[in-house]
Structure 1
Amino acid sequence: MDVLNYLLGYLGSVIYIISNSCLQSYLTDILIKKINIMSVLKVIEILGNSTESFEDAIQNVINEASKTVNHIKSVYVKDMQVTVVNNKISQYRVATKVTFDIKND
């Protein structure tokens, strides 16, 4: 009877350790997935212009932003304007919001 109790106690401990390890592994996986989903982003507003096109004005915004920030994720164009001289477009202007990742390892 003592041997049976010993074996049952031992078996119970093994099952407990295995179940805790599985639970710990499961929780760790969830935590890692949660951490990978999280990002710290910042948004700045930049005005850009070009004598060529709106696309060139937006590219100028990206070029200027990339001089001081890294990991640019997107550029949202809030507003587009042109200046006209003698009935011709002389300048393309864009107001943008540039989003970038500030915590990218």
Structure 2
Amino acid sequence: MSDHHTYKKIEIVGSSRNCVDEAIRNAIAEASKTLENVEWFEVGEIRGHVQDGQVAHFQVTVKIGFRLKNS
């Protein structure tokens, strides 16, 4: 077994009508459907969509790190 790991990092945007936390969780859940070995995340930006003077959606840019196979 290897004593080191190699990771790849991607950037995606998650959204939610309810809150920032849910937007982050939605992004991670969707990424985990197609990526293996998702191990960490970092939040880069938080923004939102305003409609009729109210927050309609929270949008969060999330960098997701996953371990490459055989590393």
TM-score band, normalised by shorter chain:
0.7 to 0.9
Unmatched segments (≥5 aa) in structure 2:
none
Shift of 1:57: 0.5
Does 1:68 find its partner at 2:31?
no
Q: CA distance change for structure 1 residues 60 and 104 in 2, over 3 Å: closer, same or farther? A: farther
Are the counterparts in 2 of residues 48 and 93 from structure 1 also a CA contact under 8 Å?
Answer: yes
1:99: which partner in 2? Answer: 65
Shift of 1:48: 0.9
- Secondary structure in structure 2 of the residue aligned to 1:67: helix
User: Of residues 42, 45, 49 in structure 1, which corresponds to 2:15?
Assistant: 49
Give deviations 1:12-56, integer Å, cap 9, x for gaps: xxxxxxxxxxxxxxxxxxxx7xx42x1010101111111011111
How many pairs align?
Answer: 71
The structure richer in helix per residue is: 1
Find the aligned partners of 2:50 and 2:34 in 1 and give their Cα distance: 32
Unmatched segments (≥5 aa) in structure 1:
1-31
Identity within the alignment, %: 31
Larger relative contact order (Cα-Cα within 8 Å, sequence gap ≥ 6)? 2
The structure richer in strand per residue is: 2
- Runs of 4 or more off by more than 4 Å in structure 1? none
Does 1:39 find its partner at 2:15?
no
Shift of 1:96: 1.1
- Secondary structure in structure 1 of the residue aligned to 2:34: coil
The code of the aligned residue for 1:78 comes to G
- Secondary structure in structure 2 of the residue aligned to 1:77: strand
Shift of 1:71: 1.4
